Chains A and B, each alone.
Chain A
Amino acid sequence: MSQKNWKEIPIGGRITKPGSSLEYKTGTWRTFKPVRDESKCSQCLLCWIYCPDSAIHVKDGKIDYIDYDHCKGCGICAEICPKKCIKMEKE
């Protein structure tokens, strides 16, 4: 986002665009990246509920994708996965 001047931003420090942090890519923080083996996944959705960054997306009750633009590579999903279908791979 290019920096706006004082006339261009809302008054009072208000951020009027909810969820605008999606524009900030924290994915660059990682060293290791979670890689999912879809064939082993039991769709328990634990990785979804435990991700600190809301980076694992679910659609219609099934794991849809991992948002690599924002995943920080903490490895919680790989640790918790009961089927061990997520592996942390060096980028």
Chain B
Amino acid sequence: MTKIIPLTGDQAAAEAMRQINPDVVAAYPITPQTEIVMTFSQFVADGLVDTELIQVESEHSAMSACVGASASGVRVMTATSSQGLALMWEIVYIASSMRLPIVMAVVNRALSGPINIHCDHSDTMGARDSGWIQIYCENAQEVYEMMILAPRIAEHPDILLPVMVCQDGFITSHATEGVKIIDDKDVKNFIGEYIPKDPILDIKNPVTYGPLDLQDYYFEHKRQQAEAVKNAIVKIPEILKEFNKLVGKEYGFIEKYRMEDAEIAIVCLSSTCGTARVVIDELREKNVKAGMIKIRFFRPFPAEEIVNTCRNLKALAVLDRAESFSGRGGPVYNDIRSALYQSVNIPVVNYIYGLGGRDIDKNHINIVFNDLIEISKTGKIKKLIDYLGVRD
């Protein structure tokens, strides 16, 4: 039965959590994630979930408690943003090294300093090497659906990696949309029962978690993690096949918008994709063959699909909502360029935009496409890496 209810991105995440009904949630509030924790706390107070909620005293303790609970063999979820993610950073790495299927909603917010509570991707981009699976959501509907998908990916026996489900702070998290909700029982059926591996609470089979590795074993343990990411690339499409039937969508690693005959295209993530679609439609009216690649799964990085999608392009622009301060462009740009190298030889340029919640609108995106038109005509790049929307 179709039910559409008005939810913000934060509320959508909380609603998904309610339906998943995890055994333990340990979370600490931080703007703009607070609504998730507050909404979920009310569910707990009203007896709508069976979840044991640990009101930890910091994000570092939040992820620490999640690690303990997940290792104990129960389903665990949490949420954070920006400084919270930064504070729990060492434990984020430990969580994935211990192969714990924790699901975390991250509401993207700029990393300090200066302190800024608005949207950019510096927080989760900073964690892109942590071994977590990263999913970026465009709107509340996607947040809701990706949160429900996440435990299945995390808990897959060949994967067993934690998952972060990202959404744009304030833009998505605090804006109300009509979200189509799945029935409680359908969610339950989809996620199934969690069968833990080597749970700490199995006292008949005592396990030691978190040993000291000397030079002779650390590398092997990391190699295992890398293999899990490789497995994820294979297994995620299988899980998506089942999920897509449930939600009536065609989710993949990426979403291609009008890419079949596109000559120029942009790559972007999250809410900006919504604005980009409008611009692309307008350009198409003017017979410009424009398209967009929306990256949904940033980790594992869907290199093969991106390469195949770009083969017939004349020029590509990558939009990054984070600076990685390498002096050579943002994180998404560098991953894309590296994937295309020696496979697809087209001009690829980078625009860093929207830092600290700086707005991006149709005008900005038109600037990008105009640059792409120029590049595809002349074959010349005026500026490889540029900033969109900063006062110069």
List residues of A whose CB falls within 8 A of some B CB.
3-6, 9-16, 18
Interface of chain B, main secondary structure:
loop
Indicate whether B205 reaches chain A with its CB closer than 8 angstroms. Answer: yes
- Given A11-B197, A15-B207, A16-B205, 8 more pairs with CB closer than 8 A: A5-B220, A6-B219, A12-B98, A12-B99, A12-B198, A12-B224, A13-B211, A15-B211
Known A13-B210, A15-B211, A16-B207: A6·B220 in contact at CB below 8 Å: yes
Mask, B176-214, CB within 8 Å of A = 1, is 000000000000000000000110000001111111010
A11 near B99: Cβ-Cβ < 8 Å: yes
A18 near B98: Cβ-Cβ < 8 Å: no
Known A13-B98, A14-B198, A15-B211: A6·B205 in contact at CB below 8 Å: no
State how many angstroms separate the Cβ of A9 from the closest Cβ of chain B: 6
B220 near A10: Cβ-Cβ < 8 Å: no
User: What separation, in Å, do the CA atoms of A16 and B98 have in the docked complex?
Assistant: 13
State how many angstroms separate the Cβ of B119 from the closest Cβ of chain A: 33
Chain A hits for B197, CB < 8 A: 11
A12 near B216: Cβ-Cβ < 8 Å: no
A18 near B99: Cβ-Cβ < 8 Å: no
B208 near A6: Cβ-Cβ < 8 Å: no
- Most chain B CB within 10 A, of A6, A9, A10, is at A6
Chain B hits for A16, CB < 8 A: 198, 205, 207
B216 near A3: Cβ-Cβ < 8 Å: yes
Indicate whether B11 reaches chain A with its CB closer than 8 angstroms. Answer: no
Indicate whether B221 reaches chain A with its CB closer than 8 angstroms. Answer: yes
List of 6 A-B pairs having minimum Cβ-Cβ separation, nearest first: A12-B99, A6-B220, A18-B206, A15-B208, A6-B223, A12-B98
B207 near A11: Cβ-Cβ < 8 Å: no
- Most chain B CB within 10 A, of A5, A13, A15, is at A13
Q: Count residues of B near A (Cβ-Cβ below 8 Å).
A: 24
State how many angstroms separate the Cβ of A21 from the closest Cβ of chain B: 10
B206 near A13: Cβ-Cβ < 8 Å: no
Chain A hits for B388, CB < 8 A: none
State how many angstroms separate the Cβ of A56 from the closest Cβ of chain B: 23
A12 near B208: Cβ-Cβ < 8 Å: no
Indicate whether B160 reaches chain A with its CB closer than 8 angstroms. Answer: yes
State how many angstroms separate the Cβ of A4 from the closest Cβ of chain B: 8
A13 near B207: Cβ-Cβ < 8 Å: no
Chain B hits for A6, CB < 8 A: 219-221, 223-224, 227
State how many angstroms separate the Cβ of B346 from the closest Cβ of chain A: 37
User: What separation, in Å, do the CA atoms of A3 and B98 have in the docked complex?
Assistant: 20
Chain B hits for A9, CB < 8 A: 217, 220-221, 224
State how many angstroms separate the Cβ of A68 from the closest Cβ of chain B: 26
Q: Which B311-332 residues have a C-beta within 8 angstroms of A?
A: none
A12 near B220: Cβ-Cβ < 8 Å: no
State how many angstroms separate the Cβ of B163 from the closest Cβ of chain A: 16
Chain B hits for A4, CB < 8 A: 220
Chain A hits for B208, CB < 8 A: 14-15, 18
A12 near B223: Cβ-Cβ < 8 Å: no
Chain B hits for A18, CB < 8 A: 206-208
A13 near B198: Cβ-Cβ < 8 Å: no
Indicate whether B97 reaches chain A with its CB closer than 8 angstroms. Answer: yes
State how many angstroms separate the Cβ of B213 from the closest Cβ of chain A: 7
State how many angstroms separate the Cβ of A58 from the closest Cβ of chain B: 22
A13 near B223: Cβ-Cβ < 8 Å: no
Chain A hits for B97, CB < 8 A: 12-13
B224 near A11: Cβ-Cβ < 8 Å: yes
Q: Which B204-247 residues have a C-beta within 8 angstroms of A?
A: 205-211, 213, 216-217, 219-221, 223-224, 227-228
B207 near A14: Cβ-Cβ < 8 Å: yes
Could you say which of A3, A11, A15 contacts B160, with CB atoms under 8 Å apart?
A: A11
State how many angstroms separate the Cβ of A22 from the closest Cβ of chain B: 14
State how many angstroms separate the Cβ of A27 from the closest Cβ of chain B: 21
User: What separation, in Å, do the CA atoms of A10 and B197 have in the docked complex?
Assistant: 11
24 contacts between A and B (CB under 8 A): A3-B217, A6-B223, A6-B224, A6-B227, A9-B217, A9-B220, A9-B224, A10-B198, A11-B99, A11-B224, A12-B98, A12-B99, A12-B100, A12-B160, A12-B224, A13-B98, A13-B209, A13-B210, A13-B221, A14-B208, A15-B208, A15-B211, A16-B198, A16-B205
Q: Which B51-103 residues have a C-beta within 8 angstroms of A?
A: 97-100
Chain A hits for B206, CB < 8 A: 18
